[in-house]
Chains A and B, each alone.
Chain A
């Protein structure tokens, strides 16, 4: 699994030397890949190129695939023409806090589910699993009412509350902990180590890759969350980059180039984070996917 991104499957490798007529297949394969790459990347390319054009240039026909005179100043202007600093600050703050809480409470609970036997455990886990299948969109109303009654709506706490205690972390970490042999833990118990000690000194160090997966997935989700902030964050000084960008778009709806500049800025940090940790990100998705 860890090599998912760099190595093809064994079967495919054997495929390789065997057949001569395969050449046409390879050609078709490359062709399809090329088409798919363009389809995936073109919108991103267009976004970046448009951010460097003048507003008139964005929609000239035929389409200009390179800006005649790159307008780098958009990347300076946007900071004075929008509250980008506030939005980014809120987004970073929320992403970090939510990720820390999710990783900590998730892995802690996962240890309880995976390695301690007690009555009611399996039933409770079933309840966790069950709610994974319930879309947030179907209970967002009662959740909103509840948080409003707790006077948490229109505070950053609301986003932390709805994002940080998800079932995903518990589920993902439990999968991982179950792959660690019980004998290891029993041995530590016999040596007189406390359960918290086992979690802290054996499980946590062993599960660094799984923790990294969970952290990355949570970070990306929180950064990109649009609906949560849309419902809860009404005051503009609490907005995240997603909310800010959307208002910016409706406010400056003819400033195509500047809108694309904002879009690039909202996507870029997460792409960088993804590229740095893609191995963990991919592993996390693949594990939750396989066992589903």
Chain B
């Protein structure tokens, strides 16, 4: 019986597992081998031990990419969290046009990144773009150059990143809000709790599992940000928006240094892995 089940089980898994193992699991394992090799376009991988790691520590560009990634992460997470939770709370009420807006909020998330990035780049255009035109109209004499200035390029990318993802996280929060028992609000109201107190004492604690999930996802999403940056700024101006994933792309696909690019990938991998594990453990402890 067990043997029959084993065969059956693997039979059902096989079509997906074959592809998944070969194209995802094997590469993940290979990554840790490549990271210890030097490999240029000619010839194959050559084992060089910790050479890549040593080089990485002294690589100023790598640290710039790391700093920029953290910059994006530190601002993108709270911003998206507040906006998407705010929208979810707002849309959980009985207001007219709620259904319309819930649908609309999704558009940025399903729209092609190339098109969206191009539109935003035009909107951000320093001289004639609508955004700066509006800023000037309300009295800003020297509006930022956005994607063309080293100081404002990352904020511009963060804004677009938040605009893109808020609909997705809003939906996850909405789904979480529907699991909050209505009786709790009744009880809170009987006790005389105002809207703010109900939010703090009922809504937020009940949303904790959702919050946990959203933060993990937001962190990993921020660490791996690549496509938006490639299309909006390509890392520039200068190195002001160069992020880790883009450094992997550059080293690997533009300079064909597969070994070194893999070493950078391992850093990216470990960062994401660490975040997931830490948040998971923290969440476990809190629930216990």
Contact = CB atoms under 8 A, between A and B. Distances in A.
Interface stretch (B46-54, B146-154, B245-253): B245-253
Interface residues of B, number: 105
Contacts of A181: none
B116 to A, nearest CB: 7
A271 B119 CA distance: 16
Contacts of B182: 9-11, 14
Interface in A236-292: 241-242, 245-246, 249, 256, 259-260, 262-264, 266-267, 270-271, 274-275, 278, 281-282, 285-286, 289-290, 292
Q: Is the interface of A mostly helix, strand, loop or mixed?
A: helix
B223 interface: yes
A112 B114 contact: no
Secondary structure of the B contact surface, majority rule: helix
B163 A40 contact: yes
A43 B185 contact: no
Contact of B248 (A1, A116, A137, A264): A137
Interface in A116-162: 116-119, 121, 124, 127-128, 131, 133-147, 161-162
Interface stretch (B17-25, B58-66, B71-79): B17-25
A151 B130 CA distance: 47
A30 interface: yes
B181 to A, nearest CB: 8
A277 to B, nearest CB: 11
Interface of A: 1, 4-6, 8-16, 25-26, 29-30, 32-33, 36-37, 39-41, 43-44, 46-47, 50, 58-63, 104-106, 108-109, 111-113, 116-119, 121, 124, 127-128, 131, 133-147, 161-162, 164-167, 169-170, 195, 199, 220, 223-224, 226-227, 230-231, 241-242, 245-246, 249, 256, 259-260, 262-264, 266-267, 270-271, 274-275, 278, 281-282, 285-286, 289-290, 292
Interface of B: 2, 5-6, 8-13, 15-20, 22-28, 30-31, 34, 86-87, 90-95, 97-99, 101-108, 110-116, 118-120, 122-123, 125, 127-130, 133, 163, 167-168, 171-172, 174-182, 185-186, 195, 210, 213, 216-217, 220, 223-224, 226-227, 230-231, 245, 248-249, 252-253, 258, 261-262, 265-266, 268-269, 272-273, 276
